[in-house]
A and B are shown apart, each in its own frame.
Chain A
Amino acid sequence: MKPKNTLLEKLEQTLASHDNETKEQTIANLRAKGINTDALIAKVRATVQKGYSAKLKKIVEGEKSQISQKPNRFGNLATLTREAMLQLVEQLRSGAMGAGFQQAVVARCRNKQPTELTEDELRTWLEDLGELPDDSE
């Protein structure tokens, strides 16, 4: 087996290393060899911008899905239908699950009825409610 990092390879690496050279010097050397550095830089900028946006979007989506799949005291809200969530709200409003929840639901319903909320809004609201201190016991 050929040993790794022979002296010749070290020489190659040393010759190839221009870490202290300015970008302008490197660009001048590349242009002398017919390399279109302007086009390359423009392509790389576009790729980085696009790649960054895509990766950021993926992270945000992952975080959202992580939150909605997190089971709380009302169960796994991600799997509940809109109807099931509305039934749950009615239970909370009736006080069956404690006065704290009842007050929170009544206060919330002064501004908007649960039936007017979208499925996502309902789920988010129930997630927030699930974080309230439990006074039902």
Chain B
Amino acid sequence: MTFPTRFSRREFMKTLGALGATALVPATRATTRELLISKPIPSSGETMPVIGLGSSRTFNVGDDIDARDTCTDVIRHFLDAGGHMIDSSPMYGSSQPVIGYALDKLGRSSEVFSADKVWISAPSKGRQQMEASLRFWGVTGFDLMQVHNLVSWQAHLETLYEMKAAGDIRYVGITTSHGRRHKEFEKVMKNHDLDFVQFSYNLVDREAERRLLPLAAEHGIAVIVNRPFQRGDLIDRLEGHPLPGWASEIGCTNWPQFLLKFIVSHPAVTCAIPATSQVEHVKENMGACYGVLPGAEMRARMIGYVENL
């Protein structure tokens, strides 16, 4: 190791500035996160910004370096805006390696609440798949591991409980989407110790309000909402219509924020995980973390407005 023998004032000030900036960056990010609307994970009390980042389809770009770099930009803006949870699955093709590529390039894996899934029929191969997922992400452990779409859930849940007890993961969850297997999902929620559940819920598909959301509140389970925009179809449907003037009362300046605020304002919902491959969209989505959330009356008004379009 060598040390500079002479240190000019300019070099000294430059170094001091760099050190100051380095020290300031985490503080700024922490402050940013403190400003966001967050909700607690019921089983631990740890708080989570209400908007996370999904990776289904959007991050599945294979080995295309340009597309990987675009995904890296999306993650950079997500983290800069105070975002925390990134969710993926082995089912999503190359999404896991792409997340790993981005986190490695940004050097910011420690800022992420990593949520992944086990999705394999053979229970004996569950651990092997999760180890592969760890390698793809380039992290030492996952914060949350979920059984994807209830595939072989009995055996996988046992494995996840063992991993949680050993400190390999911090939270255990199950997932479904598009309203699949809700009855079985309910049974698992009632009879097993879960930290998180994940399912689809949005302004025009409110089936989860009947059973799953009340059940999650009753059992103290955090809720992650997937498909908040119905894979973009809902945005496409609403884009031609004007945002109501009263949307500004809850700090919404565009349809994605309107839709996301509706979702995360449900008392049982912890966060929503819209997926995108565009920086502009992640900025819009993170905008839903600011301002106020609609109350029951405003939520009813939001439903009425969209249903009458």
Chain A partners chain B: no
Query: Interface of B with A (CB < 8 Å)?
Result: none
